[in-house]
Amino acid sequence: MQISEVEVAKLAAAEKPGLARRKTDVELKKITPDELPPSVEPDPAEVARFAGVVKDLPDVREDVVMELKEEIEKGEYEVSGEEVADMMARRMKADHLGRR
């Protein structure tokens, strides 16, 4: 399973309603394992909890689809070419990370 920034946003939205519309521009820095503090280890219970939440997320969020459909029908949905290009680039990066 590939987890991109979009999937993380979905998870955050499922955990705390209201965060779904919040845009996050996160700049990721590649680091080596040597740069991590020795005490950084995932909490197995927290990992299992999030894995369960992600597993339970629907493939299609009907509420989001309906909201977007309504905006499109009303002519209120606007997305710039820059936003489309940005999302395409993010998806390509996420796909590339998943192949490693």
pLDDT tens for residues 82-93?
999 999 998 888
> Is the predicted pLDDT of residue 21 greater than 60, yes or no?
no
Q: What value, to the nearest 5°, has the Cα angle with vertex 84 and ends 79 and 87?
A: 125
| pTM of the complete model | 0.36
Distance in angstroms between the alpha carbons of the first and the last residue of the chain: 12
Residue 94 confidence (pLDDT) above 60:
yes
Residues 6 or more apart whose Cβ sits within 8 Å of residue 91: 4, 6
Domain ranges, ordered by start, for the chain: 5-98
The distance from CA 69 to its chain's CA centroid, rounded to whole angstroms, is 21
Task: Name the residue among 19, 23, 9, 2 with its Cα closest to residue 92.
Answer: 2
